[in-house]
């Protein structure tokens, strides 16, 4: 049950101290600090809990075996699960719900460790991209529905996402003017800063610019001191409750899980969601980061999941949020020139030093600025471009995407993802796939000189994808060409097409060719569209 080791291609940087890693870690630290605070706040956790997770994800997880260029920390993708767990398990008592959710995190972390030991990290690879994107879009809508009220300076009465969206007109009409100015200014920066073409602008993270403006504005509005003010015909109140609340020290932030309802149906539901969604999202992030690694190195997914599981176990035991390999900060890490996992270590170490040395500065950050960052994140997750992309891939993928999105908003993440996957299976059966070939891989491997031929029987879907990945993982420098023969396949799904092309980018020296699909009917003109064999 040991996890596999990874190979380092020729020309790849060696492990050890690197100025490039230190510089990249510093840049990620600047981005991560406000986001960690905001994600924790939106999750119903104390704001410092998010920073604690990033510290553990960098300082502890990196030496254990984290993927080279990924940044470990809290992610927006788990906000919806966390806040739902806090609300449901606490029955209205947020502090009790927080401590009970920590117990859920401990149990979910143990399951992730077992997933890694039994080499099950690849479960994320087999997930439908359209279902995953639908889930993330739903999370984006949930984030917007909650944090838009924070930007307006209004406490909503509703809890459910659709009800919160319906309450927005009321919150807009009763917005707190000073908080609204802070929030709108932050949103303008976040949306407009990436559009600037100057080199110096690209070197400064937008969240840092937001803090550079929002903190002084908060002082101008005298938010540290409670007071009332009049504006036009309205009377309003502001005070420290509109700023980040932090304990006196990191030791004061330590909180322990409460296991009194750990084995109830409600808790076990969230254990499953944290373990599955966290594993899937983290694994897909590692794969995505590997695809943009300048040195084209392949990360050992099971070892990375094991490291993340250990990190989650520590975080949940001490009061932190769940962590994953976070894609946005990881991409920023690569863009900043990171060479190894030391960049993740330095980002965690810098967070530790900053929070220990200057907690008073964090207390000056307006919640509206953090809310604006999360609204911006939500709009990226639920962007109209996601709908357009799903439609271009095929009407079937748009159906999977919207079904997952709508069911998730109406119920919860687990039901939404389950509905999307069930619909996917039904679509495969409608295209002629058989149960025996859909759920049992039949892949024949043949070696002919420098050519590796993989012949698939029945269906090219998620199970055969995992078998193909295992074969490609054994490809060495003696293989110059990989041929995947789909001549006897009835159905080729979008997941297979997408993941296989992604895996091809990680082959050391070989090219990959798909044969036997030219005469298949495609759902659209997109190169990764699903296909089915024409009936003669």
* DSSP run (H or E) holding 6: none
Q: Are 24 and 343 in contact (CB under 8 A)?
A: yes
How many other C-beta atoms can be found within 10 angstroms of the C-beta atom of residue 509? 13
Look up the domain containing 69 and give its range. Answer: 19-375
Do 134 and 279 fall into the same domain?
A: yes
Report the pLDDT value the prediction gives residue 329, as an integer from 0 to 100.
92
CA atoms within 13 A on the CB side of 18: 18
> What distance in Å separates the CA atoms of residue 70 and residue 76, rounded to the nearest whole number?
16
Report the pLDDT value the prediction gives residue 536, as an integer from 0 to 100.
55
**pLDDT of 6 above 90:** no
> What distance in Å separates the CA atoms of residue 342 and residue 66, rounded to the nearest whole number?
10
Question: How far is CA 32 from its chain centroid?
Answer: 14
Task: Name the average pLDDT for the chain.
Answer: 91
Do 418 and 498 fall into the same domain?
A: no
pLDDT range class, residue 15, cuts 50, 70, 90:
low
Is residue 12 situated within a structural domain? no
* Domains: count for the chain: 3
Q: What is the pLDDT of residues 391-406, one digit of tens each?
A: 999 999 999 999 999 9
Interval 1-28 mean pLDDT: 65
Please report the beta strands in 451-520, taking only residues with DSSP state E, as ranges in sequence order.
451-460, 481-492, 511-515
Q: What is the pLDDT of residues 251-280, one digit of tens each?
A: 889 999 999 999 999 999 999 999 999 999
Do 262 and 397 fall into the same domain?
A: no
Is residue 11 situated within a structural domain? no
Q: Which of 340, 375, 410 is the last residue of a domain?
A: 375
Interval 160-176 mean pLDDT: 95
Do 326 and 469 fall into the same domain?
A: no
Q: Are 507 and 482 in contact (CB under 8 A)?
A: yes
Is residue 465 situated within a structural domain? yes
Count Cβ atoms within 10 A of the Cβ of residue 134 and give its class: 0-12 exposed, 13-18 middle, 19 or more buried.
Answer: buried
Report the pLDDT value the prediction gives residue 234, as an integer from 0 to 100.
93
DSSP code, position 204: S
Report in angstroms the alpha-carbon separations of 127 from 135, 349, 422: 11, 34, 12
pLDDT range class, residue 16, cuts 50, 70, 90:
low
DSSP code, position 399: H
Report the pLDDT value the prediction gives residue 475, as an integer from 0 to 100.
83
Is residue 6 situated within a structural domain? no
Q: Which of 398, 431, 464 is the last residue of a domain?
A: 431
Is residue 197 situated within a structural domain? yes
Do 269 and 256 fall into the same domain?
A: yes
Report the pLDDT value the prediction gives residue 231, as an integer from 0 to 100.
94
Is residue 181 situated within a structural domain? yes
Tokens of 3: 């996890």
Interval 406-424 mean pLDDT: 93
**pLDDT of 193 above 60:** yes
Name 512's bridge partners: 482
Percent of the chain predicted with pLDDT > 70: 96
Is residue 380 situated within a structural domain? no
> What distance in Å separates the CA atoms of residue 316 and residue 390, rounded to the nearest whole number?
36
pLDDT range class, residue 5, cuts 50, 70, 90:
very low
> What distance in Å separates the CA atoms of residue 98 and residue 48, rounded to the nearest whole number?
13
Q: How many residues does the chain have?
A: 536
Do 471 and 330 fall into the same domain?
A: no
Do 411 and 471 fall into the same domain?
A: no
Residue corresponding to tokens 């600025």: 369
**pLDDT of 2 above 70:** no
Interval 431-437 mean pLDDT: 85
Report the pLDDT value the prediction gives residue 328, as an integer from 0 to 100.
86
Who has greater pLDDT, 122 or 268?
A: 268
Do 342 and 416 fall into the same domain?
A: no
Do 64 and 198 fall into the same domain?
A: yes
Q: Which of 375, 394, 414 is the last residue of a domain?
A: 375
CA atoms within 13 A on the CB side of 508: 16
**pLDDT of 11 above 60:** no
Do 200 and 98 fall into the same domain?
A: yes
Q: How would you classify residue 66: left for phi > 0, otherwise alpha for psi between -120 and 50, otherwise beta?
A: beta
Interval 112-135 mean pLDDT: 91
Q: What is the pLDDT of residues 78-88, one digit of tens each?
A: 999 999 999 99
* DSSP run (H or E) holding 291: helix 265-291
Q: Are 444 and 476 in contact (CB under 8 A)?
A: no
Residue corresponding to tokens 């920590």: 102
Q: What is the pLDDT of residues 147-157, one digit of tens each?
A: 999 999 999 99
Report the pLDDT value the prediction gives residue 18, as an integer from 0 to 100.
83
- Which of 6-10, 131-135, 520-524 is the least confident region? 6-10
Tokens of 494: 């979008």
DSSP alpha helices (H): ranges in 156-232?
161-166, 168-173, 177-192, 199-202, 206-220
Do 485 and 414 fall into the same domain?
A: no
Do 200 and 238 fall into the same domain?
A: yes
129-513-123 Cα angle (round to 5): 30
Report the pLDDT value the prediction gives residue 123, as an integer from 0 to 100.
79
**pLDDT of 513 above 50:** yes
CATH of the domain at 510: 3.30.750.24
**pLDDT of 1 above 50:** no
Interval 40-60 mean pLDDT: 95
Is residue 469 situated within a structural domain? yes
Report the pLDDT value the prediction gives residue 509, as an integer from 0 to 100.
79
Q: Are 413 and 138 in contact (CB under 8 A)?
A: yes
């Amino acid at each position: 049950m040991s996890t596999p080791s990874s190979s380092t291609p020729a020309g790849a940087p060696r492990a050890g101290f690197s100025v490039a890693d230190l510089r990249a870690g510093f840049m990620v630290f600047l981005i991560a600090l406000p986001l960690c605070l905001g994600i924790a706040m939106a999750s119903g956790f104390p704001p410092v809990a998010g920073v604690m997770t990033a510290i553990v994800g960098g300082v502890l997880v990196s030496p254990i075996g984290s993927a080279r260029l990924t940044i470990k920390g809290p992610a927006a993708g788990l906000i919806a699960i966390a806040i739902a767990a806090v609300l449901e398990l606490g029955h209205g008592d947020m502090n009790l719900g927080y401590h009970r959710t920590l117990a859920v995190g401990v149990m979910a972390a143990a399951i992730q460790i077992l997933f890694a030991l039994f080499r099950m990290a690849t479960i994320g690879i087999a997930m439908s991209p359209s279902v995953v994107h639908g889930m993330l879009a739903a999370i984006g809508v949930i984030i917007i529905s909650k944090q838009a009220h924070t930007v307006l300076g209004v406490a909503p009465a509703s809890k459910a996402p659709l009800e919160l969206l319906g309450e927005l007109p009321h919150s807009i009409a009763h917005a707190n003017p000073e908080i609204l100015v802070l929030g709108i200014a932050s949103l303008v920066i976040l949306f407009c800063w990436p559009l600037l073409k100057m080199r110096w602008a690209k070197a400064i993270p937008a969240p840092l610019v937001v803090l550079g403006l929002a903190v002084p504005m908060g002082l101008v509005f005298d938010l540290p001191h409670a007071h009332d003010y009049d504006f036009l015909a309205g009377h309003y109140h502001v005070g420290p409750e509109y700023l980040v609340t932090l304990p006196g020290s990191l030791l004061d932030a330590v909180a322990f899980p409460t296991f009194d309802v750990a084995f109830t149906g409600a808790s076990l539901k969230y254990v499953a969601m944290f373990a599955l969604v966290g594993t899937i999202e983290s694994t897909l992030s590692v794969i995505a980061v590997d695809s943009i690694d300048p040195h084209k190195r392949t990360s050992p997914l099971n070892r990375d999941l094991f490291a993340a599981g250990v990190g989650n176990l520590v975080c949940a035991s001490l009061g932190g949020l769940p962590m994953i390999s976070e894609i946005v900060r990881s991409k920023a890490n690569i863009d900043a020139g990171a060479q190894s996992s030391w960049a993740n270590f330095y980002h965690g170490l810098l967070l530790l030093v900053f929070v220990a040395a200057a907690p008073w500065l964090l207390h000056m950050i307006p919640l509206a600025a953090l809310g604006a960052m999360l609204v911006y994140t939500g709009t990226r997750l639920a962007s109209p471009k996601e709908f357009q992309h799903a439609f271009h891939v095929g009407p079937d993928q748009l159906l999977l995407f919207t079904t997952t999105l709508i069911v998730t908003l109406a119920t919860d993440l687990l039901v939404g993802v389950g509905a999307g996957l069930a619909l996917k299976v039904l679509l495969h059966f409608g295209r002629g796939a058989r149960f025996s070939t859909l759920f049992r891989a039949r892949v024949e491997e043949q070696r002919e000189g420098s050519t590796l031929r993989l012949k698939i029987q029945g269906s090219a879907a998620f199970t055969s994808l995992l078998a193909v990945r295992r074969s490609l993982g054994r490809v060495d420098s003696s293989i110059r060409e990989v041929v995947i023969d789909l001549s006897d396949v009835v159905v080729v799904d979008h997941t297979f097409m997408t993941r296989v092309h992604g895996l091809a980018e990680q082959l050391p020296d070989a090219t990959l060719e798909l044969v036997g699909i030219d005469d298949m009917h495609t759902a659209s003109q997109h190169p990764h569209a699903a296909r089915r064999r024409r009936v003669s």
